[in-house]
Every structure is written in structure tokens, then in C-alpha cells.
Amino acid sequence: MPHNILQFKHKEDLVSDLELPEWSAESIDHAPFAVIRRAPFKENLVPVGIRGKERNQRFASYLPIDKIKTCISPLRLAKEKAWNKNIRIDAIKALSVLPALDGIISAYGMPWGPTGSIGFELATGMPAAKETSDLDAIVCLPQELPRKKAKRLAEELNALPVPVDVQIMTPFGGVALMEYARGDKPLIMKTNNGPKFVEDPWSEK
């Protein structure tokens, strides 16, 4: 699933037609992890992205399935309340708000998890978030979310002291909760084959 974080051993495990950027060697030495990205899967190859220290340091690659050591999902991070083990929770605002975010989304009975720099830091134990980081998250909803319920959830999230960007993950892709709650149509859905416009995120049409 997109946003899952995969651990591997060596930079040589990665498969790409392009040469790895210089910054990637140090990044992989410190944290040999990659994030599953939205792209078509190739035979026995998972599309992944490598993160560097800076926001503009991102590299798209592939990781062979047999080179994956561990898979950590955002949902697992939330279920295990991984933020309780993070020593920077009081220093980074986006980390400190996670218990409140957990309380809000869990009250709706929605499976959820942190993504982006916050999720990466919780999964790897390596500092990735900055003091100015927003909070990215996903909620996994195989069934349609009533618009009124989405609007109520969005209002609660907007009251948090950190901007929260939640993606609704449906069986067909991901859409922004805030756009769905506003009633925007069409919606932009992120899929493995690229973004597309949809009227109903829970329809294959």
C-alpha cells in the first residue's frame, strides 16, 4: 500500500535506470528505508521513494520484493501509538499533536496512521520532521464516508494547532479529506497510474 515504509539492507538493493544521487548514500547509510510510492508495480519490483534530509531530496526507484526486510504501515504506527517512544515529541509540534489526532479519528472508528516526515520518523527512529512540519495522515475507508461526517471530522482537525492533511484511502485511490468534506466535484484522486478526476471516490468509474 502507498505510504508503507520498507526496510532494506544496502543501496545496491535498489533498482533504477538512473544513478543514485550523491546525497542518497549517506541517507541510506543512516536509515535504509524507502516509502512505497504511487506508481505501477513491475514484476517483483515495488515502486519506492528515497528521502534525504532536505525536502527537495527525493529519488524514485524500485525495490525487489526479496530485498524487503520489514514493512511498517502507517496504521501499525497509530495502533502501537509509536509516538510514545519518540524522544522529540515535546520538541516538534506535529509530533506533540499526535495523541490528540489519535483521539479525534479513533472516536470515528476509522483506521488511520501518520505519513510524511512524521510517519517516517516514527517508523525509522531517525529525525525527519522539522519544527515547521505539517502533519500528514491517511484514513482507510473501504465504504463511503457520509459527507456530514466528513465535514464534522474536518472541522475538528482544523481546530488542532498544526495543519493536518488527511488522505482518504479508498479501494481505488486517495482523495483529500478537506476537499471531500467541502463537497468539491470533481475530486482529484491519486492512483498508481497517476492522478485523475472522479465524482465518487468509492466507484471504479
Residue 21 domain flag: yes
**pLDDT by residue for the chain (205 residues), tens digit each?**
899 999 999 999 999 989 989 898 888 988 899 999 999 999 899 999 999 888 889 999 999 999 999 999 999 999 999 999 999 999 999 999 999 999 999 999 999 999 999 999 999 999 999 999 999 999 999 999 999 999 999 999 999 999 999 999 999 999 999 999 999 999 999 999 999 999 999 998 7
- Report the 10 Å Cβ neighbour count for 180: 20
CB 110 within 8 Å of CB 144: no
Q: Identify the active-site residue in 66, 134, 165, 184.
A: 134
Comparing C-alpha atoms, which of 68, 25, 28 is closest to residue 46? 68
pLDDT at 56: 86
> What b/e readout covers 87-103, taking b as 16+ CB neighbours within 10 angstroms?
eebeebbbbbbbebbbe
| β-pair partners for 63 | 46
In a shared domain, residues 100 and 143:
yes
d(CA 78, CA 111): 9
pLDDT at 117: 95
In a shared domain, residues 62 and 86:
no
Residue ending a domain, among 71, 95, 114, is 71
Residue ending a domain, among 33, 56, 71, is 71
Residue 205 domain flag: no
pLDDT at 198: 96
In a shared domain, residues 85 and 23:
no
In a shared domain, residues 121 and 174:
yes
In a shared domain, residues 186 and 96:
yes
The domain tally of the chain equals 2
Residue 203 domain flag: no
In a shared domain, residues 85 and 165:
yes
In a shared domain, residues 91 and 185:
yes
- Report the 10 Å Cβ neighbour count for 38: 16
In a shared domain, residues 48 and 83:
no
Comparing C-alpha atoms, which of 82, 91, 104 is closest to residue 149? 104
Residue ending a domain, among 52, 71, 90, is 71
Residue 37 domain flag: yes
Residue 161 domain flag: yes
In a shared domain, residues 66 and 164:
no
Its domain, for residue 30, covers: 5-71
In a shared domain, residues 62 and 119:
no
Q: Identify the active-site residue in 13, 90, 136, 200.
A: 136
In a shared domain, residues 67 and 89:
no
d(CA 3, CA 135): 14
pTM: 0.94
pLDDT at 81: 98
pLDDT at 200: 96
Annotated active-site residue 134? The verdict is: yes
Annotated active-site residue 136? The verdict is: yes
In a shared domain, residues 111 and 96:
yes
